[in-house]
């Protein structure tokens, strides 16, 4: 906290020293009732190194919640060692023997299966594609008023190339019987105490069998780190990470919907496309969180970065949606009055993020405030104001501030 105030003070001093024409307090000051006056800079997190990972930003260590530093997002794919980590239960697998591991598929099926990793690779058609995984609460820190939960900035996501087998093919092999309504998914992690329920998720049968969901055994061409779900994890393209069950070991076809804290209490969003409600009027109807909101962020500059005047600066960022296709990103250099079209990198894959860039030559010294908003082929776009009490599905037009010096 002390370091934070020093940084903040240093920044304010720099601004004052530069004879700022813009009142910075209106951007970061204590009175921030409006969404576009929400805080943009937070206490710095500590860097920690877990097994198979590089230095990541620490949210909690038990269970591990580790955030990817922003500079890793200057590349198409997120390296495995830098990929964010989030577990709910502290009793997570620390060792898995690939020779004896079995993926169980049972419940309302004709032929229950217990597949070895070798059978999975040998007996089913492999598929490979790039898909973005986003924690439902990614970017939660920026909500105003603040919401409880893991205080991610934008690093609770990562883009990777996944290889695995279709969930549909596994279910077909097991032979689903009539009356199936859901598929439940559970990993090897367990609750550390009886009062907390094991992490178990469910998908409606139609979604589970649509052919898009994959049980992945490789991430960026390598076995995934234990912390990202070795040896198997579910990949649910376009849907928030809560369904991407890690160290996946048990799949059950059920005839009744699953009721637990992870389905009924957590990970629910207001019943509207913007996932929005207010503190005074909390949504009375909610749904299990679904598809990614459309969103874009700045990757460069970093928050509070000092940018030289009179020189071309390469603005850079990411835009993503639930797979409809980002087709336009706009940047405002003047606090949201004028908007300019950014150039988009080539599309990597349907469920990948899309990178964008723009050259900016700031002339005037002093504070800057940049904004970014994305649009997609389905007519979706980022919005000015959004809030929900879970801090889920961030869709707000993002801002970043710093100094031109
Ligand atoms: N088995 C298991 N899978 C899980 C979770 C978990 O707690 N246990 N957390 C989910 C949530 S909320 C997130 S954000 C992602 C994080 O994936 P990552 O750690 O590979 O980045 O895993 C999902 N899958
Ligand atoms: Mo998450």
Instruction: Please check whether residue 357 is in contact with residue 348, taking contact to mean a CB–CB distance below 8 angstroms.
Output: no
d(CA 79, CA 69): 12
Across 207-229, b (16+ Cβ under 10 Å) vs e yields bbbeebbbbbbbbbeebbbbbbb
Give ranges for CATH 3.90.420.10 in the chain: 1-266
Query: Which residues have CB under 8 Å from 180's CB, separation 6+?
Result: 107, 108, 205, 253, 254, 255
d(CA 249, CA 87): 16
CATH assignment of 295-404, given 2.60.40.1180, 3.30.365.10, 2.60.40.650, 1.10.10.10?
Answer: 2.60.40.650
Residue 11 main-chain phi, psi, to 5 deg: -65, -45
Mutate which of 72, 88, 91, 93 for ligand 1 pocket (most atoms within 8 A of beta carbon) = 88
- Return the ligand number nearest the Cα of 242: 1
State the distance from the centre of ligand 2 to the C-alpha of 156, rounded, in angstroms.
8
Give ranges for CATH 2.60.40.650 in the chain: 295-404
Instruction: Please check whether residue 370 is in contact with residue 315, taking contact to mean a CB–CB distance below 8 angstroms.
Output: yes
Class for domain 1-266, per CATH? alpha beta
| Residue bearing the CA closest to ligand 1, atom 16 | 86
pLDDT by position in tens, the chain (length 405):
333 333 433 333 333 333 333 333 333 333 333 456 678 889 889 999 999 999 999 999 999 999 999 999 999 999 999 999 999 999 999 999 999 999 999 999 999 999 999 999 999 999 999 999 999 999 999 999 999 999 999 999 999 999 999 999 999 999 999 999 999 999 999 999 888 899 999 999 999 999 999 999 999 999 999 999 999 999 999 999 999 999 999 999 999 999 999 999 999 999 999 999 999 999 999 999 999 999 999 999 999 999 999 999 999 999 999 999 999 999 999 989 999 999 999 999 999 999 999 999 999 999 999 999 999 999 999 999 999 999 999 999 999 999 999
- Return the ligand number nearest the Cα of 86: 1
Query: Which residues have CB under 8 Å from 356's CB, separation 6+?
Result: 296, 316, 317, 318, 319, 329, 342, 343, 344, 345
Which CA distances in Å does 334 have to 53, 204, 364?
A: 39, 45, 12
d(CA 399, CA 274): 19
With a 6 Å cutoff on the Cβ, whether 84 touches ligand 1 is yes
State the distance from the centre of ligand 2 to the C-alpha of 39, rounded, in angstroms.
22
With a 6 Å cutoff on the Cβ, whether 65 touches ligand 1 is no
| Residue bearing the CA closest to ligand 1, atom 9 | 87
Nearest residue to 126 (alpha-carbon basis) of 235, 207, 217, 208: 217
d(CA 3, CA 375): 38
With a 6 Å cutoff on the Cβ, whether 85 touches ligand 1 is yes
């Amino acid at each position: 906290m002390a370091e934070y105030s020093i940084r903040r003070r240093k920044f304010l001093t720099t601004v004052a020293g530069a004879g700022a024409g813009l009142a910075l307090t209106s951007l970061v000051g204590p009175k921030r009732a409006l969404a576009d006056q929400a805080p943009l800079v937070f206490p710095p997190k500590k860097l920690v190194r877990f097994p198979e990972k590089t230095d990541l930003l620490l949210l909690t260590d038990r269970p591990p919640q580790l955030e990817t530093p922003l500079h890793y997002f200057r590349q198409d794919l997120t390296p495995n060692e830098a990929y964010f980590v989030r577990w709910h239960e502290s009793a997570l697998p620390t060792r898995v023997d690939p020779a004896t591991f079995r993926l169980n598929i049972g419940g309302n099926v004709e032929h229950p299966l217990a597949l070895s990793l070798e059978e999975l690779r040998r007996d089913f058609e492999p598929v490979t594609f790039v898909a973005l995984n986003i924690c439902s609460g990614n970017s939660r820190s920026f909500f105003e008023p603040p919401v409880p939960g893991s205080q991610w900035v934008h690093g609770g996501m990562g883009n990777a190339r996944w290889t695995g087998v279709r969930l549909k093919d596994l279910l077909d092999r097991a032979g689903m019987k009539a009356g199936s309504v859901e598929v439940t998914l559970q990993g090897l992690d367990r609750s550390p105490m009886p009062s907390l329920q094991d992490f178990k998720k469910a998908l409606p049968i139609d979604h589970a069998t649509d052919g898009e969901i994959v049980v992945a055994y490789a991430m960026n061409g390598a076995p995934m780190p234990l912390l990202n779900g070795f040896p198997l994890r579910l990949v649910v393209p376009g849907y928030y990470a809560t369904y991407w069950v890690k160290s996946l070991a048990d799949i059950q076809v059920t005839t009744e919907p699953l009721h637990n804290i992870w389905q009924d209490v957590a990970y629910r969003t207001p019943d509207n496309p913007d996932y929005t409600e207010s503190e005074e009027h909390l949504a009375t109807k909610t749904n299990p969180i679904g598809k990614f909101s459309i969103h874009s962020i700045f990757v460069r500059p970093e928050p509070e970065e000092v940018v030289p005047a009179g020189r071309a600066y390469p603005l850079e960022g990411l835009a993503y949606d639930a797979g409809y296709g980002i087709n336009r990103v706009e940047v405002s250099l003047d606090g949201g009055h004028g908007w300019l079209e950014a150039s988009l990198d080539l599309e990597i894959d349907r469920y990948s993020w899309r990178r964008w860039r723009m050259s900016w030559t700031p002339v005037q010294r002093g504070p800057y405030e940049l904004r970014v908003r994305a649009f997609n082929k389905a007519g979706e776009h980022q919005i000015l104001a959004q809030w929900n009490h879970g801090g889920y599905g961030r869709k707000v037009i993002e801002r970043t501030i710093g100094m031109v010096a």
